[in-house]
Amino acid sequence: MILNGSQIFVETLIEQGADTIFGYPGGAVLNLYDALYQNSHRIHHVLTAHEQGAAHAADGYARATGKTGVVLATSGPGATNLVTGIATAQIDSVPMVAFTGNVPTTSLGKDSFQEAYIEGITLPITKHSFTVRHVEDLADTIRSAFRIAQSGRKGVVLVDIPKDVSAATCEFINKAPEPKRTITVFDHNKVAQAAQMINEAKRPLLIFGGGVVGAAGCDALRALVHTGSIPATHTLMAAGVLDYREELNLGLLGMHGCFASNKAVAECDLLIAIGTRFSDRVVLNSTLFARKSKIIHIDIDTSELGKNVVADLEVAGDASYVLNSLLPQINRQDHEDWLAQIRDWQTKDYVPQDAEDHLTPHQIINEICLQTGSDATFVTDVGQHQMWAAQYLHHTKSRGFITSGGLGTMGFGYGAAIGAQIGLGNDHRVVMLTGDGSFHMNLNEGCTAASQEIPLITVIFNNSVLGMVRQWQTKFYDERYAATDPNRKTDFVKLAEGFGLTGYRCTNLAEFKEAFTKAMASKTAVWIECVIDKDEQVLPMIPGGGDVHQIIME
């Protein structure tokens, strides 16, 4: 059948399984929006307050559901406003396709009104970027974008569509979606070698990251932990893969990780790293990291092997396939002496102190967990609250903790939480945790939460300062608090009401319990401001470039 480019755009999205698209209209995408309007019964468009919010919403939708997130923006500033959201999703290996409009092909390169070379701008921060110059190429380009986004190490693909391409016509033939290209091939001899190393180890330790979630390898990883009786620690991106109640789960690793997990890295004789890229917040100092240990590194992306930490054995492959090949070769063991030593280290872990007269972060989070149970999905912004959430939430689900790990994007949370809530549906509980600094960067999406009528709960840890930066100034800059006390006068309760939401302000635990109970019963979005002390710190903490011997516990 003969269709124009805008109709082809919609038909191909639906063909690829897209049911939701986040975006913001503009002149260069008017044709696309006209087609979306005519097909609103087939694909749901979510209008956000800002294109960056739309990108984060598509990202949160993808992280929560495992589907490919889709975002659409107009040319020029609309396209460039997506850049931070694209980079955020790409570094955390989130499958997303970003569509932008552009000036007609005849005007490209002439500094036309609202023109930006978005393909070139995004090339370093995407898996691939396309500019479609002929309508005959549009459908297959979109198909390729979805396949690339979900294949191998997942990531972001950008498709730029000039306005004349969206108006031109050609023959369109519907096709079945291409299967994603999963890397099923790996070196079986190396897997056998890894099994032998694991079976011979006296003090093995497993480190796993977000790649295990992306590869749907969580069940296989749990089986490896239990079969080999191997204690395990995780990166920020893998919180929830192991239940927080799991005896062999040592918790978070790295700069703000547990003492026991960091100590185990220093003392193990075999480190098995799966689906993690050994970021600087985990390794801290590559010359000091796991010096007593042999290292096995399993990752789908060969460029990550040997990049940050040199391993004794590197296995390139999909974590799920490699783990399922490894499992039958692992002997059942108990490692009782090693586990006893770890239990002793755990008694030395940092324990936060309760308070009766003011709110503390861990008490707020404990109350959230008590009221939401194990089925909630938690989303965070970036800062102190993010680390408190990683440390104290009762993680039970592999996709239950959504946060910006690699890029550390302040302003990520609210858009991502909206996307997660829409992806999971209003019957699913989504709670967003943020700080007053991060929230000021994205609270404009309050209008989106109101217009979408979603029951999203937002808990704001308000210490009236830029807490994480201030903590560093406290520890390492002799308390010179440059630009970390913004002296803002924001009234979050009134602001929530101005958006058409409900707001509460809490100064003690009793007030918070009451407010959160009301929020749980609400059918619309709620903001709960929690006033906490500006000197609350995230502990433990290992300074950048240090190791467990430099850990700060008080």
Active site positions, annotated? 51, 113-114, 163, 468
For the record, the structure tokens of 470 come out as 């201030």
Q: Strand 20-23 vs strand 128-131: parallel, antiparallel, or unpaired?
A: unpaired
Q: Which residue has the tokens 């730029």?
A: 160
Q: Give per-residue burial for 274-287: e unless 16+ CB within 10 Å, then b.
A: bbbbbbebbbbeee
Main-chain phi, psi angles of 354, to 5 degrees: -75, 160
* 118 membership: H or E segment, kind and range: helix 118-122
Rounded to whole angstroms, how far apart are CA atoms 370 and 372? 6
Rounded to whole angstroms, how far apart are CA atoms 74 and 81? 10
Rounded to whole angstroms, how far apart are CA atoms 431 and 526? 10
Q: Supply angle C-alpha 527, 532, 538, rounded to 5.
A: 110
Q: Supply angle C-alpha 513, 519, 522, rounded to 5.
A: 150
Instruction: Look at residues 441, 434, 483, 442 and name the one whose alpha carbon lies nearest to residue 463.
Output: 434
Rounded to whole angstroms, how far apart are CA atoms 349 and 2? 66
- Whether the CB-CB separation of 398 and 218 falls below 8 Å is answered with yes
Rounded to whole angstroms, how far apart are CA atoms 287 and 309? 9
The residues near 38 (Cβ < 8 Å, ≥ 6 apart) are: none
Q: What is the DSSP letter of 447?
A: H
The residues near 62 (Cβ < 8 Å, ≥ 6 apart) are: 68, 69, 89, 94, 95, 96, 419, 423
Instruction: Please report, for residues 24, 33, 163, 209, 228, the alpha-carbon distance to residue 235 in angstroms, rounded to integers and kept in the order given.
Output: 34, 40, 43, 5, 21
